[in-house]
Amino acid sequence: MSMRFDRHVVIITGASSGIGAATARAFAREQAIVVLADLRPNEALHHQLEGEGTAVLSVTVDVASSADCERLVNQVLERFGRIDVLFNNAGITRRATVEELDEAQWDHVMAVNLKSVFLLSRLVIGPMRRQGGGSIVNTASGWGLVGGDQAAVYCASKGGVVLLTKAMAIDHGPHKIRVNCICPGDTLTPMLSDEARQLGLHGDALAAAASSRPLGRAGRPEEIADAVLFLASGQSSFITGEALVVDGGGLAGSA
């Protein structure tokens, strides 16, 4: 197996579950130094990676807090001296129309899904520039590209992630910092079950509904991780500002 990330320092937010955890495992398999950042630490994952020989640091952070983001980046720089990859992945969903949302719910989703990308990216760009480059990958969504029902604030936040990605790619390309995002379709994680329950459905309902997609199923977190590693690696050295759809063809028929 190729080791695209040998001793590269990789920060992953939302690393305790779903797509973040699968991505942490994938980076670890390629010899990266892995920083697991999450509101709720996953000690089992930490110990598993460490047991397999990975250098791993777990930091409990609320990505919506600028103080927490500063503490995270300072801790990583003190311990490892550099940051090669930032994967801004932490996210939450709230299935509701604008009529149903209150202001605090709007602010919370926007802060966790969108403001966090600003808060963390601005802190890593200086170190990346000084070390000669780096790669930022953000998790947007298919619903950052097209609208969805009862998902007003989620779509607003993820649409924001797509264009923030492109704007940062323009600003920081000259510093050899590439910025891309992934747009997953329905993926088998706790979020998908939570989302189904918010709609009053059985926890498996959205996963089952993905059978109507061209590839006939929902995605596995490992399949999203593969795309993240591609965008983070030198294999995508001429790609920046891209929103890569990873959804089994779900959006293939959309404009």
243-246: strand order across its sheet: 56-60, 33-38, 9-13, 85-88, 134-139, 177-184, 243-246
| Contact yes or no for 251/223 (Cβ under 8 A) | no
Stretch that binds ligand NAI, among 76-84, 97-105, 124-132, 183-191 (CB under 6 A): 183-191
CB of 112 to ligand NAI, least distance (A): 4
Stretch that binds ligand NAI, among 33-41, 96-104, 168-176, 196-204 (CB under 6 A): 33-41
* Site mask for ligand NAI (CB under 6 A), range 68-87, x = bound: --------------------
The closest alpha carbon to 34, from 44, 46, 18, 42, belongs to: 46
Interface with ligand NAI (CB under 6 A), residue total 29
Q: Is 64 in the site for ligand NAI (CB under 6 A)?
A: yes
Q: Is 141 in the site for ligand NAI (CB under 6 A)?
A: yes
Pick 127 or 221: Cβ nearer ligand NAI: 221
Q: Is 19 in the site for ligand NAI (CB under 6 A)?
A: yes
The closest alpha carbon to 141, from 106, 97, 180, 186, belongs to: 186
Applying CB under 6 A, among 62, 70, 107, 222 the residue interacting with ligand NAI is 62
Q: Is 120 in the site for ligand NAI (CB under 6 A)?
A: no
Exactly one of 76, 154, 229, 244 is catalytic; name it: 154
The closest alpha carbon to 224, from 3, 56, 88, 20, belongs to: 20
CB of 32 to ligand NAI, least distance (A): 19
Stretch that binds ligand NAI, among 17-25, 47-55, 98-106, 163-171 (CB under 6 A): 17-25
| Contact yes or no for 82/9 (Cβ under 8 A) | yes
Q: Is 92 in the site for ligand NAI (CB under 6 A)?
A: yes
The closest alpha carbon to 147, from 157, 134, 137, 139, belongs to: 157
Active site residue 154: yes
Round to whole Å and give the CA distance between 242 and 222. Answer: 20
Pick 176 or 201: Cβ nearer ligand NAI: 201
Applying CB under 6 A, among 187, 229, 232, 236 the residue interacting with ligand NAI is 187
- 55 — alpha (psi -120 to 50), left (phi > 0) or beta? beta
Q: Is 207 in the site for ligand NAI (CB under 6 A)?
A: no
Round to whole Å and give the CA distance between 54 and 229. Answer: 17
Please, what's the largest Cα pairwise distance for the chain?
Answer: 51
| Contact yes or no for 125/135 (Cβ under 8 A) | no
**Residues carrying an active site annotation:** 154
Q: Which residues in this chain contact ligand NAI in the complex, by CB under 6 A?
A: 13-14, 16-20, 38-40, 61-64, 89-93, 112, 139, 141, 184, 186-187, 189-192
